[in-house]
Structure 1
Amino acid sequence: MSSTTLARPATPPLAVSWQTPLELGVLGAIWGASFMFMRIAAKDFGAMPLVEMRLALGALVLMPFLWKARASFPLKLWPKLALIGAINSAVPFALFAWAAQRAPAGVGAICNSMAVLFTALVAFLFYGERIGARRAVALLAGFVGVVVLASGKTAGASIGWAVGAGTSAAFLYGIGGNLVKRKLTGLPPGAVAAATLVCSAVLILPFAIASWPEHSIPMRSWLSAGGLGVLCTGVAYAIFYRLIMRIGAARASTVTYIVPLTAVTWAWLLLDEPLTVPMLIAGTMILGSVALSQKQPA
């Protein structure tokens, strides 16, 4: 709708004016904590069992959305949902969990922020969308940041493979975001999230059973896995889609800038993980490139 045909909206009431920044901040803190939870639990569960816990618990939280919209999900749609779920949830979650066993929590969060740039790159390569000079520069800066991050070491050990896994996960998010936009348009987003998580949980289940740890798992890791599934997946998706409906996807995606900062802060406060110079440089470059790519032309 054109703004010239509508009267300027009145100043929003106080209850609304503070609600959006509060929810963005809470969501950024929750998603930042997800990397800490993975760092804690992955070493005891292993990647696949932890991912299964995350998917199953997240799907349970979001199931009311799917049940309410069940008439919009015929059987013929489910193979497509399963494919998108694998690309957008199952495999990226597994890659991040694998990386969490080998690198600090902040590393995965910094890699995750590349998803915004990869979404633009996939749209350019496969769907003919213009990328523009600004986004091209942003992509280059982001990739340089990844190289800087991969070159770093923690406690004398290289984190290059973990960075590769996290960056691959972010690339899959870029593919998944484009597929959701083009293949699932018109469906309730909360129900789509629930459906893809259900499909992903089914896909991961055989691998989780085959690799389920034989040793006892500490309560700290159980609680972290529960927080990862219930809070960082189920509740976080519900908040995110609520934000999308209120302020739109573009503004809601600004939470991307908050996640690495909160992830590093959580890990520093609760896990005593240091912020290394390569992490600082790479994080600045990647977040700067994301901000540049999102800036509207004058």
Structure 2
Amino acid sequence: YLRKKLAFATHKKHFFILGALNSAIPFLLFAYAAQTINASTLSILNSTTPIWGAIVGIIWSKTKPTKSMLLGLLLGLTGVAILVGQNSLTIDSQAITAIVAALCASLSYAIASHYTKHAPKLSAFDNAHGSMWAASIMVLPLIFVIPAREMP
């Protein structure tokens, strides 16, 4: 339709890395978590992506965090803890795995963000299109492993 050609074979490794980190892994982890915890808690946990981004950035670039950066991370983590804590009445003891899965999904987004800064420079269309094809290829085999809970 757009008459743009995607060089999937040329950048296959990049598309699979980006597709895994930015789509397949977080989508699967959030879908798993959503079976146990409510949507408001999931959205709060999803909002930890910038916190993870700062932490991944410190580790990736090997820079020493500033006092204001540490204060910002502390305030962000405190805010998330307060907000998730307010939902503690709806979270049972078995939800810990789901919370960890949602936090790992947000961490995956943060890693993808830093990866793209050092990845091959491609157009936004190519990155989006190629990574979604790669993510679809990775997730497609799960159709045969994970049964549908109800008729689509």
TM range (shorter): 0.7 to 0.9
Query: CA offsets per residue over residues 35-62 of structure 1, 9 Å max, x none?
Result: xxxxxxxxxxxxxxxxxxxxxxxxxxxx
Tell me what 1:76 maps to: 10
1:106 and 1:129 mapped to 2: Cα distance? 34
What does residue 211 of structure 1 align with?
146
Residue 171 (structure 1) aligns with = 107
Aligned residue identity for 2:108: L
Cα distance in 2 for residues equivalent to 1:182 and 1:130? 20
> 2:8 and 2:29 mapped to 1: Cα distance?
30
5 Å-filtered alignment, 1:11-22, equals none
**Residue number among 132, 135, 138 corresponding to 1:197 in the alignment:** 132
**2:35 alignment partner, one of 74, 94, 101:** 101
1:147, CA displacement in angstroms? 4.1
Q: Determine which structure has more spread, i.e. the larger CA radius of gyration.
A: 1
Q: Establish whether residue 153 from structure 1 lines up as the match of residue 86 from structure 2.
A: no
Q: Are 2:71 and 1:143 equivalent residues in the alignment? A: no
Question: Whole-Å Cα distance in 2 between the matches of residues 180 and 207 of structure 1?
Answer: 26
State how far apart, in whole Å, the 1-side matches of 2:150 and 2:48 are. 36
Q: How many residues align?
A: 149
SS at match of 1:97: helix
What SS does the aligned partner of 1:94 have?
helix
Q: How does 1:216-227 map to 2 (within 5 A)?
A: 216-217=150-151, 222=152
Structure 2: distance between partners of 1:181 and 1:128: 15
Conserved? CA contact 2:8–2:130, under 8 Å: no
Question: How far apart in 1 are the matches of 2:33 and 2:39?
Answer: 9
The equivalences for 1:14-53 within 5 A come to none
Report how far residue 74 of structure 1 moved: 5.5
Distance 1:164 1:175 in 2: 16
Shift of 1:132: 2.5
**Superposition deviation, residue 162 in structure 1:** 2.3
Gap regions ≥5 residues in structure 1: 1-62, 223-298
Task: Give the CA deviation at 1:69.
Answer: 4.9
Distance 1:129 1:191 in 2: 31
1:285 aligned partner: none
More helix by percentage: 1
Larger RCO, structures 1/2 (Cα 8 Å, 6+ apart): 2
Q: Does residue 110 in structure 1 map to residue 44 in structure 2?
A: yes
CA contact (8 A) 1:85 1:197 kept: yes
- Kindly tell me: are residues 206 and 74 of structure 1, through their superposed partners in 2, closer, same or farther at Cα, counting changes over 3 Å? closer
- Using the aligned pairs only, state the percent identity: 25
* 1:75 counterpart SS class: coil
* Distance (Å, rounded) in 1 between the aligned partners of 2:147 and 2:55: 37
**Which stretches in structure 2 are left out of the alignment for 5+ residues?**
none
TM-score scaled by structure 2?
0.83
d(CA) in 1 for partners of 2:73 and 2:143?
Answer: 35
